[in-house]
Structure 1
């Protein structure tokens, strides 16, 4: 029996049915051999986008201490996540989130009409929460942070679908077994902001204890032990 919240368990179920979360043997971009793989890009059906936006909304709403005016979705994957999660948050708590806005950036600034590089609510003077699928190397999220800064917004946090909780790959000359932070840990430390996730590797392990195979569970635990970040 799992000990994770119901919305997380339901989300993992939906991920598995959509093949967005798979167990097996996968070679990552880093070269590591992972026993699982997550692909949020497969959440393009109505029922699946409803599932992920609901999970995002619960992840944010569970933190009653967080105050923000806008969900910012970096182009392109963050765009549908921001728009649909704003709607779900308003359903969960209309009093708190009924006036919540969304924004996203254009890849190229518009030079005609109203111009600019932002679509949706203006960021200036507003508290901004970034929403995206994952933070891998941290490059894309830092670009989004610079956009928010340039527009005069105040970044107050980031929420992602999955935190793999694993240390960054070793650079040339580094020992792969040496302790290191994760990409999320590096961003959290650099900017001093909370970074939330619908799921962590720990959540996937807990879910697998109740519904997965013994082999999947063993391999997940071994992978976590081998690559766990210090944060």
Structure 2
């Protein structure tokens, strides 16, 4: 099991996979705290690419969509909500 704090483009997971495979191990899955729901190298999300490329399940504790929903309920966080939405618009799937 690979545990990481966040997945953006999936680069850290790919680098970790090289090490795991070099030692003859098999990845059981990936757990990440925040899925930023960003595009990977193509048009699908980084998580979808990792699942496709390595045949493992990726589980996230929270997604950017969850964070946006939380911020929508907090009027005092409107400034942050706008920034997160802009981020998702630029980089998200």
Which TM-score band (shorter chain)?
Answer: 0.7 to 0.9
Structure 1 residue runs without a partner (length 5+): 1-128, 170-178
* Partner of residue 183, structure 1: 46
SS of aligned partner of 1:223: helix
Measured in 2, the distance between the counterparts of 1:147 and 1:161 equals 21
Superposed displacement of residue 205, structure 1 = 0.6
TM-fit CA distance, 1:168: 4.2
Deviation at 1:156, TM superposition (A): 1.7
Q: Work out which of the two has the higher radius of gyration on C-alpha atoms and give 1 or 2.
A: 1
Using the size of structure 2 for normalisation, the TM-score is: 0.73
| Larger helix proportion of the pair | 2
Q: 1:143 to 1:219 in 2, by over 3 A?
A: closer
Residue pairs, 1:7-26, within 5 angstroms: none
Q: Kindly report which structure 2 residues correspond to 1:4-153, keeping only aligned pairs within 5 A, or say none.
A: 129-153=1-25
TM-score w.r.t. the length of structure 1 is 0.34
Counterpart selection for 1:204 from 63, 67, 74 = 67
Q: 1:216 to 1:136 in 2, by over 3 A?
A: closer
- Which structure has the higher relative contact order (CA within 8 Å, separation 6+)? 2
Q: What is the CA RMSD across the aligned residues, in angstroms?
A: 2.5
1:143, CA displacement in angstroms? Answer: 2.7
